[in-house]
Chain A
Amino acid sequence: MSLFSLLSVSGSGMGAQRVRAQLLVENLANAETTRTPEGGPYRRKDAVFSSQPQSSPFSAMFQAEIAGGQTGVGVADIVEDTREPVKRYMPGHPDAGPDGYVAFPRINPAEDMVDLMNATRNYQANVSAIGAVRDMIHRTLDLLR
C-alpha cells in the first residue's frame, strides 16, 4: 500500500480541472466569434469527466490494491453546445445573412464564470489533498530518524 499513488490520483484531478478551465476561458474569449473553421459561429465547449483507474508501472503487481480504491479522473469527452446561435440584426456586418441577421455564439458570461470558479475551487481541493498526503509521507519518513 503506497501513499505515493495518491499523488497521481490528485494529479489527475488537477489535470482534468485545468482542461475544463482552459475550455471555459476559450468560451469567454470567443463570445463574439462569428467565423470558425467548421463554418458558422463559435459553439460553447464543455468537458465531460469520467472516473478512470490510475495506471502506474507497478499496476500489474498491485492490481488488487488498485481495485480496492484509487480512482483518478479524466476528460472523457469535449461536448459542443447544440443550442441555436443568437441572432442579432446587423445588416452591415460581413457575416450577415440575406435577412440582415448575424448568428452570434450563445455564450452567457455568468454561466462560464460560475463554472470557472467551480473548476478553480476543485483544483484547490486537489492541491490541498496533495499537501495532506505529502505531510503524511513526511511523517512516515520521520519514523526512521
Chain B
Amino acid sequence: MLNPIAGNLERYMDLLAARQKLVASNIANADTPGYKTRDIDFQFEFMSLASGAGTNLRAAVPNVINAPDLVAKNDGNNVSIDRESRLLSETALRFNLASSLLRGQIQLVRSAIKEGRTG
C-alpha cells in the first residue's frame, strides 16, 4: 500500500534501533575490564537490507563487529565515552528524521482515504 520509500525507511529505522542498542551497551560497559566497543557496519548493512527487500526477518539481524581504530586503556577496555555520546545523539536524530518522513508517508495515505470518504 505504501510506496517503496516507506519500506526503506522502515529498514533504516530498524538498523538505527539496532545501532542504538549497541551504543547503550557500550555506555553501560564503559568501565568493564576487557570490554571491546561493538558496532555495526552501517553502510554495508543498509545496502544489503535495501537490495534484499522482502526477505525474511532473520536476515534483518545485522552483523556485530568490533569498532576499529580505538585506543584501549590499561584494563583492555576501549570504550570512548565521547564517541558513544556522539553516536547516541546522532542515531536519535537520524531516527527522528526517519520517523518524521515515515509519518509524512502515512499521512499521505490517510488523506487519500479521508478524501475518498467525504467526496
A interface residues (Cβ-Cβ under 8 A, vs B)? 1, 3, 5-6, 9-10, 12-13, 16-17, 20, 48-51, 64-65, 68-73, 118-119, 121-122, 125-126, 128-129, 132-133, 135-136, 139-140, 142-143
Task: Assess the B20–A136 pair: CB atoms within 8 A.
Answer: yes
Determine whether B12 belongs to the interface, using a CB cutoff of 8 Å to chain A: no
| Docked-complex contact A129 and B21, CB < 8 angstroms | no
- A residues less than 8 Å from B23 (CB atoms): 129
Chain B, interface size category, equals 35 or more
Determine how close the nearest CB of chain A comes to the CB of B11; give it in whole angstroms. Answer: 11
CA distance A20 to B91 in the complex (A): 29
Residues of A close to B58: CB separation below 8 A? 64
9 A-B pairs with the lowest CB-CB distances in the bound complex, closest first: A13-B28, A139-B99, A132-B92, A49-B32, A71-B25, A73-B28, A68-B61, A69-B21, A129-B24
Task: Name A's interface SS.
Answer: helix
By a CB distance below 8 angstroms, the chain A residues around B103 are: 142-143
- Most chain B beta-carbon neighbours within 10 Å: one of A48, A118, A132, A142: A132
Cβ 8 A contact of B29, one of A1, A13, A135, A143: A13
Q: Are A136 and B27 in contact (CB under 8 A)?
A: no
Choose one: B22, B29, B38, B85; the contact of A73 (CB below 8 Å): B29
The interface residues of chain B lying within 8 Å CB-to-CB of A133 are: 20, 24, 92
In the assembled complex, the CB of B15 is this many whole angstroms from the nearest CB of chain A, namely 10
Q: Knowing A49-B32, A64-B58, A129-B27 touch, does A69 contact B18 (C-beta < 8 A)?
A: yes
Q: Chain A residues near B31: list those with CB within 8 A.
A: 16-17, 20, 49, 73, 118-119, 122
Candidates A17, A49, A71, A122; contact of B33 at CB < 8 Å: A49
A139 touches B95 (CB 8 A): yes
Verify A128–B85 contact, CB threshold 8 A. Answer: yes
Residue numbers in A under 8 Å from B32 (CB-CB): 49-51, 73
B81 part of interface (Cβ distance < 8 Å): yes
A48 and B33 CA atoms in complex are apart in Å by 8
Pick the residue among A9, A16, A121 that contacts B24 (CB under 8 A): A9
Q: 8 more A-B contacts (CB under 8 A) besides A10-B28, A49-B29?
A: A6-B21, A9-B21, A10-B27, A68-B61, A68-B64, A69-B18, A69-B64, A73-B25
Q: Kindly state whether residue B50 has any CB partner on chain A within 8 Å.
A: no
* A125-B25 in contact (CB<8A): no
Encoded as 1 (CB less than 8 Å from any A CB) or 0, chain B from 1 to 38 comes to 00000000000011011101111110111111101001
